[in-house]
Amino acid sequence: MDGALRIGVLGCSAFGDRSMLPAIRDNPAVRLVAVASRDRARAAAFAEKFRCEPVTGYRNLIRRTDVDAVYVALPNALHHEWARAALEAGKHVLSEKPLAVTVRETVALARLAGERGLVLRENFGFLHHGQHRRVRALLDEGRIGRLRHLEASFCFPPLPDGDVRYRPELGGGALLDVGVYPVRAMQYFLGDDLTVAGAVLRRDPRSGVDVAGGFVAHSADGVIATGNFGFEHGFGSRYRLWGSTGQIIVERAFTPPPWYTPTLRIVSQNHVEELTLPAEHQLNAGLTAFAGAVEAARAHGHDPHHREWAATAVRTAELTARIGEAARRI
């Protein structure tokens, strides 16, 4: 553990409790030092469960000298404020998505991290799962001919009453919470040069946030992309790449459990092939990649991949904002 990246956690979220903090606790590349909440009892409960120090107040955790990096697990509208505070204190930052709720805030965080030579990353776990690299390799091999259409969806059932994702003042809504996954999948396969052609958002009259939506985009070379998202549905997390000679279909694309062995379906007119891949823990892989980025930043005096990463992160924010601007609200 001597060389492990020392991480402090801001916020005691349900996702952190269920998935992210166990991954931080168990990954040898990192060490969970402390967890902070505004509620002393909640911080103490998390700290006891995950064998770390409880801290009352986010700024008190950021001030700790035994913390190298901060994981931001707060409601969306608070990501920018506390990621900025951590960067200003010289801490590397892994933030839950979205990095911020506006393009301006996203640009500001990326610029600040670059100026300070610090690592800033957005916690899109699926980007670290090998099934998507395999799909991209199949595309490059021409297994489905020339790509014509990409469809991506991420939906799940309604959330408990009072969930922060139903609170507009905290950056709630389906677009920021799950709509960003289809957007980032499109960037992964089609690149950042995408144009949003139209969108629809369904608004919940009680909470005022969008609870479902869809959009259409296209790449510079004419690939059409459609995305669907929401939290008033049966669970679905998938994408399909449709080419001139076949299709590749990926189920449980964005949040596969660590034990899940993905099956890629390659479909052509007269043939279906299924490739079963090994199980992977994408959150664990993401933490290892984050720790590796910090190590590289220490060696070079700056994050050598910051410019490339920041350009894509800002583009994600721009595309998400454009979907909101273009959307017809129903």
Active site residues: 97
Name which of 230, 203, 237 is nearest 214 in CA terms. 230
Q: Which residues of 185-194 are buried (b: 16+ CB within 10 A; e: fewer)?
A: bbbbbbebeb
- CA–CA separation, 237 and 156 (whole Å): 8
- CA–CA separation, 177 and 98 (whole Å): 7
Q: Which helix (H) or strand (E) holds 62?
A: helix 58-62
Name which of 74, 89, 90, 81 is nearest 108 in CA terms. 81
Name which of 20, 27, 35 is nearest 97 in CA terms. 20
The owner of tokens 């839950």 is: 96
SS3 at position 210? strand
Instruction: Provide the 10 A C-beta neighbour count for residue 142.
Output: 13
